[in-house]
Chains A and B, each alone.
Chain A
């Protein structure tokens, strides 16, 4: 079945440092979504990328979708303590279901003030 893998699993940074998490799919994706889950919270939708090579920015967050539409990355510039949480990528299942979103295991980001 389809796999969505994220690396690293954990990342600890000093406040002000940059952070990047990578997402790789075993199959080509029609789109990829990113979510953030704060500690003790629930996943919150951040963004969706659809086009090959697409780059989108949200303030200090930059999202990229690979040319082959099999990988994606999230880069945070100058992290702040408010960036703490787990970042998940998710893509539509390619195993025959149009209704299933497959989530990666997530990258837990901690920020030392």
Chain B
């Protein structure tokens, strides 16, 4: 399953660092998503991009900044994170951004904030 790729797979960063997560989809989809998955919470939607336009920001703190230069690429820029931001960050894509379409997830980036 290599339809959606994410890099890096693991990331350790200090609270003052700046880093970026990258996601690329090879499925020809028009919508891309960022989710956060932590140990005791369900999948939390962070952002939705549909045809490169952000259609959903689920009250995400500004220390997370998404970027979608085209329908195939999605970035999540991170700065001044907190330890509670440590989690698995999953990227997903779907044919369209409407919630009626199935989503294809990447392998995720395991982020640890120290």
Binding site for B on A (CB under 8 A): 30-31, 33, 41-45, 48, 88, 90-93, 97-106
Contacts and interface: CB of A to CB of B under 8 A. Distances in A.
Contacts, number: 57
B53 to A, nearest CB: 10
Interface of A: prevailing SS? loop
A65 to B, nearest CB: 14
B102 A48 contact: yes
Given A99-B48, A99-B50, A45 B99 contact: no
Contacts of B105: 42-44
Interface of B: 1, 31, 41-43, 45, 48, 50, 55-56, 58, 90, 92, 97-100, 102-108
A104 B42 contact: yes
B99 A44 contact: no
Given A31-B100, A48-B102, A100 B45 contact: yes
Contacts of A97: 56, 99
Given A88-B43, A100-B48, A103-B43, A42 B103 contact: no
6 contacts: A45-B102, A92-B100, A99-B55, A99-B97, A103-B42, A105-B42
A93 B104 contact: no
